[in-house]
Structure 1
Amino acid sequence: MRLLIVDDQPLVRQGLRAVFAGLDDIIVAGEAAHGAEALELVRRTAPHVVLMDVNMPVMGGLEATRRICAAGRADPDRTLPKIVMLTMYDQDEHVFEALRAGASGFLIKDASPQQLADAVREVVDDGAMLSPSITRRLIREFVRRPALPAPDGELSALTGRERDVFRLLVQGYGNAGIAEKLTLGESTVKSHVQSLYRKLGVQDRVQVVIYAYENGLI
Structure 2
Amino acid sequence: MPISVVIADDQEMVRRGFRMILEATDGIDVLADVADGEAALAAARTHHPDVMLLDIRMPEMDGLEVNRRLRQDTEQQNHEQTTRVVIVTTFHDDEYVQTALHDGVSGFLLKDASPALLVEAVKAAAEGDSLISPAITVRLLQDMATRPGKRRPPTPEEPLTPREIEVTCRVAKGLTNAEIAQDLYLSLSTVKAHLTHIQTKLAARNRVEIASWAWETGLCAE
**Equivalences for 1:72-151 in 2 at 5 Å?**
72=74, 77-87=79-89, 89-125=91-127, 126-132=129-135, 134-142=136-144, 144=146, 151=154
1:167 is aligned to 2:165: yes
For the Cα contact (< 8 Å) 2:145–2:217, is it kept in 1? Answer: no
What residue number does 1:65 align with? 67
Taking structure 1 as reference, are residues 105 and 151 closer, same or farther at Cα in structure 2, changes over 3 Å only? closer
Taking structure 1 as reference, are residues 163 and 94 closer, same or farther at Cα in structure 2, changes over 3 Å only? same
For the Cα contact (< 8 Å) 2:141–2:212, is it kept in 1? Answer: no
User: Deviations for 1:81-111, whole angstroms, at most 9, x for unmatched residues?
Assistant: 3322224554321333333332232222222
Alignment root-mean-square deviation, CA = 3.7
- Structure 1 residue ranges without an equivalent (≥5): none
d(CA) in 1 for partners of 2:74 and 2:201? 15
Q: 1:213 aligns with which of 212, 215, 220?
A: 215
Deviates most, 90-99 or 203-212:
90-99
* Matched residue SS, 2:143: helix
What residue number does 1:35 align with? 37
Deviates most, 110-119 or 72-81:
72-81
TM-score (norm 1): 0.72
User: Deviations for 1:46-96, whole angstroms, at most 9, x for unmatched residues?
Assistant: 322211112111111121123224544566633433322224554321333
Q: Could you tell me which amino acid in structure 1 is paired with residue 62 of structure 2?
A: G
For the Cα contact (< 8 Å) 2:14–2:111, is it kept in 1? Answer: no
The percent identity for this pair of structures is 33
Taking structure 1 as reference, are residues 196 and 175 closer, same or farther at Cα in structure 2, changes over 3 Å only? same
* Alignment: residue pair count: 211
d(CA) in 2 for partners of 1:54 and 1:150? 24
- Structure 2 residue ranges without an equivalent (≥5): none
How far apart are residue 28 of structure 1 and its match? 0.5
Q: Could you tell me which amino acid in structure 2 is paired with residue 128 of structure 1?
A: L
How far apart are residue 170 of structure 1 and its match? 1.5
d(CA) in 1 for partners of 2:142 and 2:169? 17
* Matched residue SS, 1:58: coil
d(CA) in 2 for partners of 1:97 and 1:83? 14
What residue number does 1:55 align with? 57
* Matched residue SS, 1:52: strand
For the Cα contact (< 8 Å) 1:165–1:193, is it kept in 2? Answer: no
1:21 is aligned to 2:23: yes
